[in-house]
Amino acid sequence: MELKAATPQDAPDMAGVHAQAFDTPWDETDFEDLLEGEGIFGFVVRGEDPAGVLICRAVAGEAEILTVGVAPWARRRGVGEALMTAAMGMARQAGAETMFLEVDVDNAPAVSLYERLGFERAGLRKAYYDRGANGRADALVMRLDLTSRPV
Ligand SMILES: CC(C)(COP(=O)(O)OP(=O)(O)OC[C@H]1O[C@@H](n2cnc3c(N)ncnc32)[C@H](O)[C@@H]1OP(=O)(O)O)[C@@H](O)C(=O)NCCC(=O)NCCS
């Protein structure tokens, strides 16, 4: 598996992985537009096929993970952790002191990954996610102090 910084040319691969990881995926144009945005960076992990994607925004000392997803076939092999660690390093380089993300409270794999990386529970956004026929779900806001960890 190889991790690299994403460019707009990676948008088709990123959309392909996102569609495998999420019920409401972002398309190619979403990734192209995002990667041209101010303070935005991303990473892609590839094995034989694209395996994982991450997009982060770092502006004015704060970083936010906008999305991170790993294709089901590539899970539990350290891809998610590698993507998050790369984003933490790049956010620090961009001058961010804090990193935030939102996650469905019931998404145990993701919450477990973030807690392992040092994220703490910072708050709850009630009924934040629309689960269609399954109603709405709360979002957990998680926060990481980037200054207290080595680069
Ligand atoms: C969450 C997600 C990104 C994790 O990716 P991954 O590549 O499988 O994660 P890793 O292999 O790097 O796991 C690192 C650690 O996170 C935790 N973890 C990951 N998946 C887990 C699971 N299914 N159950 C429990 N802990 C889990 C474990 O501590 C794991 O370490 P271990 O394998 O040594 O036990 C992946 O499951 C995914 O894409 N899910 C769907 C999309 C999603 O929910 N994205 C996050 C939205 S906020």
Neighbour-count burial for 25-58, b at 16+ CB within 10 Å, e otherwise: bbebebbbebbeeebbbbbbbbeeebbbbbbbbb
Specify the pLDDT at position 129.
86
Specify the pLDDT at position 135.
86
CATH of residue 127: 3.40.630.30
Tell me how far the alpha carbon of residue 70 lies from the centroid of ligand 1, in angstroms: 8
* CB of residue 69 inside a 6 A radius of ligand 1: yes
In a mutational test of the pocket of ligand 1, which residue from 70, 101, 144 has the highest number of ligand atoms less than 8 Å from its CB?
70
pLDDT tens string 65-83: 999 999 999 999 999 999 9
Q: How many domains does the chain have?
A: 1
**Domain, as residue range, for 111:** 2-148
pLDDT tens string 94-105: 999 999 999 999
